[in-house]
A and B are shown apart, each in its own frame.
Chain A
Amino acid sequence: MTQAFRIGNGGLVNRDKKLSFKFNGKTYFGYEGDTLASALLANGVHLVGRSFKYHRPRGFFGAGVDEPYAIVQLYRNGETEPNIKATEQELFEGLEAKSVNCWPSVNFDIGAINNFLKIFLPAGFYYKTFMWPKSFWYRLYEPFIRKAAGLGVASTKHDNERYEHKYEYCDLLIAGSGPSGLSSAYAAAKNGARVILAEDKPRFGGSLLTSDVNIGNQSGKDWADGIIAELKTMPNVVVKNRSQIFGYYDHNMLVMSEKVSDHLPKTKKYHPNKRLWYIRAKEVLISSGSIERPIVFGNNDTPGVMLSSAAKEYLKVYGVLVGKNPLIFTNNDSGYETAIEFKKHGVDPIVLDSRKHSTSEIIDEAKNLGINIKNSYVVVAAQGYKKVKSAEIASISDDKKQLGKIESINCDCICVSGFWTPTIHLASQSGNKTEFKEEIDAFIPGQSKQNETTLGAANGVFSLEETLKTSFATGSELSKKITENDNEIAIPNVVEKKSSQHDKFWCVPLPKGKNYKRFLDFQNDVAVSDVEIALREGYRSIEHVKRYTTLGMATDQGKTSNLNGLQLVSEIENKVVPAVGHTTFRPPYTPVSIGAIVGREVGKHSKPTRKSPMHLWHKKNNAVFVDAGVWLRPRYYKKGNETLFEASKREAKNVRNNVGVCDVTTLGKIDVKGPDAAELLNRVYTNAWLKLPVGKARYGVMLREDGIVMDDGTTTRISENHYHMTTTTAQAANVLSHLEYYLQLVWPELDVNVVSTTEQWAGAAIAGPKSRDLLQKLFPNSDVSNDGLPFMGYMEGNLFGIKAKIFRISFSGELAYEVNVESDHGNFMWEKIIEVGKEFNIQPYGTEALSTLRIEMGHVAGSELDGRTIPYDNALEGLVSKKKDFIGKRSLQRSAFTAENRQRIVGVVPLDKQTSIPEGSHLVKDDKAPLPNPKLGHISASCWSVEYDNPFSLAILKDGKNMIGQKLFAMSPLKNKVIPVEIVSSHYVDPKGERVRS
């Protein structure tokens, strides 16, 4: 294919590097430096998609971020990405893109029938039609809408690209590298301020790339290149292209999405696809420029109708003609600039100017070039279906209400300019109360709320000379306040052509007998008639009109439609535009990849993974791991073809019969030190702590102030003023914060220090009838007899030269010990235990066996301490002191907590002694009762009792105390199970607790 619409030379693309790409399966060529849009236009392709509601053919309207329709599905490297603006996507070798919103193809689209049925699709159509009956929604309406509409398809595959987050701080953050951005950045940089200059496009310079101006005896573009080159050499400056600042948040934090690899066929190894910057700036300068406004006329969505500034940009930046027979429709001088560019490249445009008279340097130049200009003329409607073929034009009366005789005129594109709308999105996001500026018919930023200043066209200032003057001054002043440097900078001499006053005209009236669609919002297909209906139906607030018609609610957030929508409402309502007010601008300014927002926090990286020092040993010995909070813990150690059930039964049995060892490193550990340590524990735990002797451990329960159990664990008095506290794995961080809260805020008079030591100690639980024999061999010089180290005793020992802490505590209900060594020696300890334990038939056991052992002993854990239970519910009321006060004690007097039939922990055994009860099952009296069947309690934990070889569960049951011996049903609708059960004691094994003391 030839690039028939590429001019012979000119533009900023690299003509030495030809790139091939595919659009809708067809191969085309473009150049390095093209966007997908400019490359398609170079090939004369104007039809890129179908509109959202009516499936009308759509082309290109803009040349950048403001583009409402040219949205494509991109394919790269076997991956696909939806919602890509062709005007922003840079061309790369092998790029593949397809149209969206059309089925079966862009040229023949079934949904386009909506266009002929459009009488049925006015504003509020979806609200009115797809409401009743409700069941139709899922079966009929939604599938229909989903098939017919949508803006592309999200990939269902794992995204293999890498995305990064970065935090940055700076003195001045400058959004936009046009004339105001460059000059303020330069002035601030020269004062030594730390500056970040962000540009969303690949090229720096903004309007200077396309405007015919002269700064300091250079072209605007050369001046911009010079400034950027100098800024890049300065160590206090970061300049970033392809970087969109899309959100302005609290306390001057802004978020920027940098496209790192977007312009490449494939992301470089170790490079991210996109990088999200969180930037905290002392001052923000918004130099985001302005967006050209359309003038509304009939069929103004026909491919080939586009903004006049876009046509100029395609020509000056990409060397592409958007048409060879252009019609330019303008209410201001900008249209003339485009016309002049066409003329310079040998193309004869016709200019329709809605103004009766206008004179300026620009218009004079156009006249001198012999351009055909028709004043008081407008485009009534574009003609052509998939591409503009001609235009209906007419003269217009001075009051802009009457059209003259309609004439037809041949043209292949219509370039429209309705003056300029400052890009106030960022300022508005920061909380700035914007104000309406009559002279430009648009809103500009008003009083700043945060440290933000808006400059240049974004502030409604369209004179280059004035923009440079204020921007240099602002950059200099703001940086001076921060760095206290004051380097004077000479403001360069500016040559620009003066323009004349624009015309407030924005919408062409319909000719008699014609019912052309005049679109306001091109992406959401909202026409003038839709807003009229909304107002007729009683919607008044602009926020309501927006939601009812969906005006400005598409992914372009109404960049080209907002103001015309407001103009319309103000005209019909007979109010001035500022009284109508604009809808709220919210981040993001442009769509942001979900991948970029998520960053590196994907899959296993969404949280850190913590591993014990014995992790590698577990791995080598066939451990199957389970997530326990952020920790990885062995769930069971697989032998041969064992299932989880078989392995955990074997491991648990071996603890009951011989001896087992379990990695308990993950338990939270907190060092509590100081003269008032005992007093703190006495206030934090429900039981008494003042008389615990040195060398003894005690089990404790702590409550929240509302009386609910927060955590449990053993705490050991290591020395007079030093306690070693343990917490559950899950609550470790919360317990530390809880202690710090009371020490710092409530009882600062207590002389105590707390610090987490979880990572300092590796722990092994040695449990089973043979554990003492094993311990004696591990510590031959210590007296670990029942007298030397009684239940709940503590001693230090020497483990083959390593200092160890030995606690005689038990979670499994067997005779058991816990040995702690410093983490670095964890693996040594573990290997020694396994090696020496061989003669006692030691086996490691995982969390599944650990659960089995604790469940059949009736020991509570996280599934019972679930944030809803008090000590009584867990049969822990014996640990609640009546004598002293403690955190949460007063709440235990609440009537619900003292009720006679209060819920309480029980054991549950299926009557058939065969069927395991799913955790979460509800206990009910009558399995045939009508729904909702009253729930008496729930199964909190289930296991296969290795002691009795049948299923056993724990449950929290209403009036549990008096329910022992009763027959109930455990129902699990999720697992479709109804199991007859008997309620038994929660202490299923060794109810007197003799084993731990043996």
Chain B
Amino acid sequence: MLYINCPHCGMRSQNEFSYGGDASVKRPELNKEVSDQEWDDFVYNRKSLRGKHLELWQHISGCRQWIKVERDTATHEIFRTFKADEEVA
């Protein structure tokens, strides 16, 4: 079970969180013309990386904030966590 540092609450066990997928995906702006390819990339296509991966988690049984977690998908090491509005350098 992972141990995740919620930027709002501190270290919490994985069972308080729910997984939200790739955090690098950006939703196309509303009312903007979007090609089929762009839309498919947003809705379906994911890299499914082995290694360092920026992903979303929601602290569902805690502060209910969505957070970004930089995690190695092979070793499960967590490098950093960010608030939803924090820029990832």
Contacts and interface: CB of A to CB of B under 8 A. Distances in A.
Interface string A663-689: 000000000000000000001000000
Given A249-B1, A253-B3, A741 B58 contact: yes
Contacts of A885: 30-31
Contacts of B44: 706
Contacts of A706: 43-44
Given A740-B58, A744-B66, A745-B66, A251 B43 contact: no
Contacts of B56: 745
Nearest to A746: B27
Nearest to B84: A744
B18 A737 contact: yes
Contacts of B78: 251
Contacts, number: 55
Contact of B2 (A250, A431, A740, A744): A250
Interface string B15-56: 000101000000110110010000100111000000000001
Contacts of B28: 890
A53 B24 CA distance: 55
Interface string A836-848: 0000000000000
A748 B3 contact: no
Contacts of A431: 75
B39 A253 contact: no
Given A737-B18, A746-B27, A885-B30, A251 B65 contact: no
A278 B1 contact: yes
A517 interface: no
A885 B32 CA distance: 9
A899 B12 CA distance: 48
With a 10 A CB-CB cut-off, give which of A449, A683, A748, A890 has the most chain B CB atoms: A890
A957 B2 CA distance: 45
Interface string A764-778: 000000000000000
B76 interface: yes
A250 B78 CA distance: 10
B76 A280 contact: no
B30 A705 contact: no
Nearest to A754: B64
Nearest to A736: B64
A250 B85 contact: no
Given A740-B66, A885-B31, A891 B43 contact: yes
B27 A890 contact: no
A431 B60 CA distance: 29
B13 interface: yes
Contacts of A744: 65-66, 84-85
A890 B39 contact: yes
Nearest to A250: B76
Contact of B60 (A249, A252, A683, A737): A737
Contact of B1 (A250, A741, A890): A250
B30 A251 contact: no
Interface string A240-260: 000000000111110000000
B3 to A, nearest CB: 4
Interface residues of A, number: 24
Interface in A446-474: 449
A745 B84 contact: yes
A741 B57 CA distance: 10
A250 B1 CA distance: 6
Contacts of A890: 28, 34, 39
Contacts of A741: 20, 58, 66
A741 B23 CA distance: 12
A744 B67 CA distance: 9
Given A280-B13, A890-B34, A705 B42 contact: yes
Interface in A678-709: 683, 705-706
B41 to A, nearest CB: 12
Nearest to B27: A746
Given A740-B64, A744-B84, A748-B85, A253 B1 contact: yes
A748 B84 contact: yes
A680 B32 CA distance: 17
B8 to A, nearest CB: 11
Contacts of B18: 737
A125 B13 CA distance: 46
Interface string A642-673: 00000000000000000000000000000000
B84 A251 contact: no
B75 to A, nearest CB: 8
Given A683-B30, A744-B84, A251 B2 contact: yes
Nearest to B44: A706
Nearest to B33: A890
A633 B77 CA distance: 44
Interface of B: 1-3, 13, 18, 20, 27-28, 30-31, 34, 39, 42-44, 56, 58, 60, 64-66, 75-76, 78, 84-85
Interface of A: 167, 249-253, 278, 280, 431, 449, 683, 705-706, 737, 740-741, 744-746, 748, 884-885, 890-891
Cβ-closest 5 pairs across A and B: A251-B3, A744-B84, A885-B30, A744-B66, A250-B76
29 contacts: A250-B2, A250-B3, A251-B3, A251-B78, A253-B1, A253-B3, A253-B13, A280-B3, A280-B13, A431-B75, A683-B30, A705-B27, A705-B42, A706-B43, A706-B44, A737-B18, A737-B60, A740-B58, A740-B66, A741-B66, A744-B66, A744-B85, A745-B56, A745-B66, A748-B84, A748-B85, A890-B34, A890-B39, A891-B39
Given A683-B30, A885-B30, 20 more contacts: A250-B1, A250-B2, A250-B3, A252-B3, A278-B1, A278-B13, A280-B3, A431-B75, A449-B75, A705-B27, A706-B43, A706-B44, A737-B58, A741-B20, A741-B58, A745-B56, A748-B84, A748-B85, A885-B31, A890-B34
